[in-house]
Structure 1
Amino acid sequence: MAFYVQGVPIGYMAVMLAVLASMGGFIFGYDTGQISDILLMDDFLLRFGTCTSATDASQCHFSDVRAGLIVALLSIGTLIGALLGAKTADVLGRRRAMTAECIVFTIGVIVQLTSFHAWPQFAVGRLISGLGVGALSAAVPMYQAETAPPQIRGTLTATYQLFITFGILVAYCISIGTRHISGSGSWRTVVGISILWALILGVGILFMPESPRWLAAHGQFDKAKISLARARGIPAHEAESNWKVHREVADMRAAIEQESKLQATWMDCFRPQKKQLYRTLLVMTLQMFQQLTGANYFFYYGATVFQSVGIQDSFVTQIILGAVNFGCTFGGMYVMERYGRRMPLMVGGVWQSAWLFVFAAAGTAKDPQVNPGIGKLMIVSACLFILGYAMTWAPGIWILTGETFPTRTRSMQAALAAGSNWLWNFLLAFFTPFIVKAIKFRYGFVFAACNLTGAVIVYFFLYESSDLSLEDVDIMYCDPRVKPWTSRSWAPEGFTSRADVAETKKADKGFVGMEEARMERNAVNGNGYPTEKVSNGSGEVDQAETV
C-alpha cells in the first residue's frame, strides 16, 4: 500500500518504521522530562536529599553537586553510548542494535528502581540507562535517513525529535498524576514505566525492514531491493524489476564500491578529502549549538525555574511548556520539509535569541517573585522560545545528522555528532545550578548570543540537503563549484533543478528511458562533474567543461 508525495509513491511501511524507531527519541525525552519533577517529590527528597527532618520534605534540599550529578550522569552515559553505538549498529545491523540498546536501558532503570537511600546508586542507574539512550541516538536517525524516501526524509527523520518532545510531555503528565502517591510510589512509578517504552521499541523494531544501505554495504543487494520496495509501497515480488528500486540500489552499489576501496576508520572522519573533516566538525558544532540554544535549561530545571518566578504549581507550568514543545514540533516537520534546512535554522536562531533576550531582561530588571506581571512575561517568553526551537533547531539538527555523511563513515560520524550533543548536554545539566546561582536570569543572555552565533554558522557553512538522495548529498559536498549559500540551486547530474528531479520521477518513464534523458541533457566529463552547454555566439552550442 502506498500514498503519493510529489507524484512519487511512498509506502506506509516507511512511515511505520520511522514512527516505531522514533520510540528511541521518546525514551530519551521521557528520561529528560521526568527528572525535573522527581527532584521536587517529597519521598525522593526525604530519601536522597540533605534533610534536617526525617518526615518534613520542606526541610530537605539537594546540594548543587548532588542535583547536578543526578541530572547530568544520564548525559555522560549517552555520550559513551553514542560513541559505542556506531560500531554496534555496523556490526549487528540497525534493528538488532536498537534491541540490544533497549536491554541496556532497561538494566539502568532496574538499578534506579532498586535504590532505597543511596543517591549514587540512582545516579549510576541513570548513567547505565544513558548508555542505551546514547547508542539509540546514533542508530535511530541513521536508520530513518537510510530507509526513508528522499521526498519525505526530512519529515520522517524529524519524528525522532517529535517523539523526544512527546516523551517529555508524557513524563510531565505522569509526574503530576503520581506526585501525591504516598511513599516511593510517587517517583518509582514514573521511573518504572520507562521499561514499557523500551519493550515497545526493542521488540517492535525486529518486525521492520533492515536499512537497505546497511544491507547493500554487506553485499545483500537482493534484500536491499526488498527493503526499499517495502518502504516505497512496491510489492516485494516486483522489487527486482521496478526501475525506481533498481536505480536506488545501483546508486548505493556505486557509492559502496567506491568507498570500499578503503576500510573505514575513525580517522577517516577527520580527513580533509571529500570534506570529511568539514562535515564532521560542522554537524558536531551544530549539535553543540542545539544544546546551547538553552532548551534543556527549561526541560531539566523548568520546575525549579518557575518556582523562582513565583508560580505556585510549577508542575502545571512544565506541562504547558511540554505541550507547546510537542505541538509545535508538528509544525517543525512541515517547515523542514517545505523550506529546507538552512532557512528555518537561520530564522529559528534569530527568533529564539529574541525571546531569550526578553526572558533574561525581564528577570533581571525586576524580581519576578514580587512582580507577577514580570513572571507571566517570562513564561510567555519561554513558551515563544520553545515554539521557535520546536519548529527549527530541535528537529533540524537530527535530520542533518542522518543525511549529511557518506555511507562508509556515516555511523561513526553520526556517533561523533550525537556525542557532541550529549557532552554539551552534560556540561549544561551539571553546571547550570552553579551558573544560575551566580548570574540568575542573566543566563538567558548567554543563550541568546549562542542562538545568534548558530544562525551565522548555518549561513556560512551548512549546505542545503533537502530533496536529495543521500548519495547526491555526498556528491554535492564534494563539488568544488558549490558554496553553502548557493547550494539550494545545486541539482544532481542530468537535472536542471531539484524540482526537475521530482518531475522526472513523476514521469515514471522507466529506468532506461530516464537514464537516456539524463545523458541527453548533460554530458559528464572525466572528473564525474556535468558539463554545461554554452552559446558560442553564432547560435551554435558548444560543450564547456565545468571546473
Structure 2
Amino acid sequence: MKHFVQGVPIGWVAIMLALLASMGGFIFGYDTGQISDIMLMDDFLLRFATCSTPGDVSTCSFSTVREGLIVSLLSIGTLVGALLGAPTADFLGRRYAMSAECVIFTIGVIIQIASERVWQQFAVGRFVSGLGVGALSAAVPMYQAETAPSQIRGTLTATYQLFITFGILVAYCISIGTRDISNSGSWRIVVGIGILWALILGIGILFMPESPRWLAAHDRMEEARSSLARVRGVSEEEAKSHHIIAGEVEEIKSSIEYERQVRAGWIDCFKPKNKTLYRTLLGMSLQSIQQLTGANYFFYYGATVFKSVGLSDSFVTQIILGAVNFFCTFGGMYVLERFGRRRPLIVGGIWQSIWLFVFAAAGTSVDPTTHPGIGKLMIVSACMFILGYAMTWAPGVWILIGETFPTRTRAKQGSLSTAANWIWNFLLAFFTPFISSAINYRYGFVFAACNLTGAVVVYFFLYESSDLSLESVNMMYTNPNCKPWTSGEWAPPGYSSRQDLIDQTRAAETHKPLTLEEGKMEKLSESSADGS
C-alpha cells in the first residue's frame, strides 16, 4: 500500500517508522512533564521533602538544592546518553540501539518506583532513565532523517518534537488523575506507566526497516535497497528495476564511497575543512538556544510558577499549557514544510521574545498574587510564548540536526549538538530555583534576550536546507558562493534555481523527461563525489 507525495511513491512504512521512532520523543516528554506535578503531590512531599512537623504535609518543602537535583539529574543522564548515542547507533544499528536504550530507561523507572524514603534513590533513577532518553534523542532524529523520503522528511522528523509535546501533555493528564490518591500510587503510577512507552518503542522498532544509509555504510547494499523499497511502498521484485530506488541507491553509494576515503573520528567534527567545524558549532548553538528560549522553565517548574501567581489549581494550568504546546506543534510541522527552516526560526525567536518580555514585565511591575488580572496576563503570555515555540524552535531544531551534517560525521555531530541541549537543560533545571528566588519573574527578561539572540544566529549562520537531499545540503554548505541569507535560492550545479531543482526532480521521479535532465544529474553526482 502506497500513496503519492509530489508525484513520488511513499509507503505506509514511512509514516509508521516516523511515528514509532518518535516514541523516543514521547518518552522524553513524558519524563519531562511528570516531575513538575509530582513535586507537589502530598505523598511525594511526605516521603522525600523536609517536614518540620512529621506527617503534616503543609509543613513539608524541598530545599532549593534538593529540588534542583531531583529535577535536573535526568538532564545529566541525558547528556551522557546523548554522547554515547552515536557510537551505539553506529555499532548496533539504529533500530537495535533504540531497543537497548529502552531497556536502560526501564531500569531507571524501576529504581524510581522502588524508592521508599531516600530521595537520592529517586534522583539516581531519573539519572539512569536519562541515559536511555539521551541516547534515544541522538538516535531517533538521525534514524528518521536517514530513512524518511526527502519529500516528507521535514514533517516526519518533526514528529519527534510533536511526540515530546504529546508526552508532556499525557504526563499532565495522568498526574491530575492520580494526584488525589492518598498513598504512593499518586506518583508511582505516573512514573511506572513510562515502562509501557518503552515497551512500545523497544519492541515495535524491530519490525521497521533499518536505515539504508547505515546498511550501505556496512556493505549491505541489497538490504539498503530493500529498506528503501519498503519505505517507498515498492515490492522487492519491483525495487530491482525501479528508477527512484535505483537513483537513491546510487546517490547513497557514491556518498558513502567518498566518505570512506577519510576516517571520521570525534576530532573530525572540529576540522574547518568543508565547514565541518562551522556546522558542529552551529548545531550545538541551535540546540543550546532551544533550551535558552525558556520553554523548560515552564515545563519543569510550571506548576510551581503558576501556584506562586495565585492560581487555585496549577495542575489545570499545566494541562492548558501542555495542550497549547501539543496542538500548536501540528502547525509547526506545516510551517516548516511550507516556509522552510530559516524564516520560521527568525520569526519565532522574535515572537517568543515579545511574550516573555510581557510575562516578565507583568510579574515584576505588580504582585500577581494580589492582582488576579496580572496573573491571568502572565498565563496568557506564557501560552502565547509556547504557541510560537511549538510552531518554530521546538520542531525546527530537531529537523535541522537530522539534515545539516555530512554523512561521515553526522552521528557524532548529532550527538555533540544534542549534548549541548542537555547541558543547558541540566543547568536550567538545577539553577532555576536559585535564580527564581533571587530575581523572581525578571528571569523572563533573560530568556527574552536569548530568543532575540537565536533569531540573529539563524539569520547570519543557518543555511536553508528544505527541499534538498542530505547530499545536496552538504554541497550547499561547502559552496563558497552561497551565504546563509541567500541559501534559500541555492541549487546544486546544473540547476538554475531551487525551484528548478524541485521541478526537475519531480519530473524525473514521475517519468516526465526534461531537457538536459540526465546531464544535470551527472553533474550533481560528480560534485557529490568530489565532496564539494
Q: Give the TM-score category using the shorter length.
A: over 0.9
Write out per-residue CA displacement over residues 293-340 of structure 1, whole angstroms, 9 at most, x where no aligned residue: 000000000000000111010000000000000000000000011100
Instruction: Note the C-alpha offset of 1:239.
Output: 1.4
Paired residue secondary structure (1:40): coil
In terms of mean alpha carbon deviation, does 398-407 or 7-16 score higher?
Answer: 7-16
Paired residue secondary structure (2:4): strand
Instruction: Note the C-alpha offset of 1:500.
Output: 2.6
Alignment of 1:250-269 (within 5 A): 250-269=250-269
Paired residue secondary structure (1:9): strand
**Residue number in structure 2 paired with 1:148:** 148
**Residue number in structure 2 paired with 1:379:** 379
1:412, 1:521 → 2: CA distance? Answer: 30
**Residue number in structure 2 paired with 1:39:** 39
Number of positions where the alignment pairs a residue of Structure 1 with one of Structure 2: 531
Write out per-residue CA displacement over residues 42-89 of structure 1, whole angstroms, 9 at most, x where no aligned residue: 000000000012222111000000000000000000000000010000
Instruction: Note the C-alpha offset of 1:236.
Output: 2.1
Instruction: Note the C-alpha offset of 1:248.
Output: 1.1
Paired residue secondary structure (1:467): coil
Whether the 8 Å contact between 2:86 and 2:414 is mirrored in structure 1 is: yes
**Over alpha carbons, which structure has the higher Rg?**
1
1:205, 1:521 → 2: CA distance? Answer: 34
Alignment of 1:235-314 (within 5 A): 235-314=235-314
**Residue number in structure 2 paired with 1:93:** 93
Instruction: Note the C-alpha offset of 1:5.
Output: 1.8
Write out per-residue CA displacement over residues 350-385 of structure 1, whole angstroms, 9 at most, x where no aligned residue: 000000000000000100000000000000000000
Q: Which amino acid aligns with 2:188?
A: R
Q: Which amino acid aligns with 1:517?
A: E
**Residue number in structure 1 paired with 2:462:** 462
Paired residue secondary structure (1:10): strand
1:487, 1:341 → 2: CA distance? Answer: 11
**1:312/1:517 Cα in 2 relative to 1: closer, same or farther (>3 Å)?**
same
**1:167/1:524 Cα in 2 relative to 1: closer, same or farther (>3 Å)?**
closer
Write out per-residue CA displacement over residues 187-238 of structure 1, whole angstroms, 9 at most, x where no aligned residue: 0000000000000000000000000100111111111111111111222221
**Residue number in structure 2 paired with 1:389:** 389
2:96, 2:293 → 1: CA distance? Answer: 33
Instruction: Note the C-alpha offset of 1:522.
Output: 8.9
Paired residue secondary structure (1:486): helix
**Residue number in structure 2 paired with 1:57:** 57
**Residue number in structure 2 paired with 1:406:** 406
**Residue number in structure 2 paired with 1:343:** 343
Where does structure 1 differ by over 3 angstroms across 4 or more consecutive aligned residues?
Answer: 508-516, 520-530
Instruction: Note the C-alpha offset of 1:514.
Output: 7.2
Q: Which amino acid aligns with 1:216?
A: A
Whether the 8 Å contact between 2:254 and 2:528 is mirrored in structure 1 is: no
Paired residue secondary structure (1:102): helix
Write out per-residue CA displacement over residues 74-110 of structure 1, whole angstroms, 9 at most, x where no aligned residue: 0000000000010000000000000000000000000
**1:512/1:240 Cα in 2 relative to 1: closer, same or farther (>3 Å)?**
farther
Instruction: Note the C-alpha offset of 1:424.
Output: 0.2
Q: Which amino acid aligns with 2:156?
A: L
Instruction: Note the C-alpha offset of 1:167.
Output: 0.2
What RMSD, in angstroms, separates the aligned Cα atoms of the two structures? 1.9
**Residue number in structure 1 paired with 2:449:** 449
Whether the 8 Å contact between 2:325 and 2:386 is mirrored in structure 1 is: yes
**1:523/1:280 Cα in 2 relative to 1: closer, same or farther (>3 Å)?**
closer
1:45, 1:224 → 2: CA distance? Answer: 52
Whether the 8 Å contact between 1:243 and 1:510 is mirrored in structure 2 is: no
Paired residue secondary structure (2:492): coil
Output the TM-score relative to the length of structure 2.
0.97
Write out per-residue CA displacement over residues 141-186 of structure 1, whole angstroms, 9 at most, x where no aligned residue: 0000001111111100000000000000000000000001121000
**1:7/1:39 Cα in 2 relative to 1: closer, same or farther (>3 Å)?**
same
Whether the 8 Å contact between 2:36 and 2:299 is mirrored in structure 1 is: yes
2:182, 2:509 → 1: CA distance? Answer: 68
**Residue number in structure 1 paired with 2:118:** 118
| Structure 1 stretches lacking a partner, 5+ long | 531-546
Alignment of 1:220-231 (within 5 A): 220-231=220-231
1:78, 1:344 → 2: CA distance? Answer: 27
**1:350/1:178 Cα in 2 relative to 1: closer, same or farther (>3 Å)?**
same
1:132, 1:83 → 2: CA distance? Answer: 11
Whether the 8 Å contact between 1:28 and 1:167 is mirrored in structure 2 is: yes
**1:524/1:85 Cα in 2 relative to 1: closer, same or farther (>3 Å)?**
closer
1:514, 1:68 → 2: CA distance? Answer: 61
Instruction: Note the C-alpha offset of 1:6.
Output: 1.8
1:232, 1:468 → 2: CA distance? Answer: 18
**1:117/1:521 Cα in 2 relative to 1: closer, same or farther (>3 Å)?**
closer
Instruction: Note the C-alpha offset of 1:249.
Output: 1.2
| Structure 2 stretches lacking a partner, 5+ long | none
Instruction: Note the C-alpha offset of 1:513.
Output: 6.2
In terms of mean alpha carbon deviation, does 74-83 or 521-530 score higher?
Answer: 521-530
1:410, 1:523 → 2: CA distance? Answer: 24
Write out per-residue CA displacement over residues 107-136 of structure 1, whole angstroms, 9 at most, x where no aligned residue: 000000110000000000000000000000
Instruction: Note the C-alpha offset of 1:501.
Output: 2.9
**Residue number in structure 1 paired with 2:135:** 135
2:437, 2:343 → 1: CA distance? Answer: 36
1:166, 1:508 → 2: CA distance? Answer: 38
**Residue number in structure 2 paired with 1:196:** 196
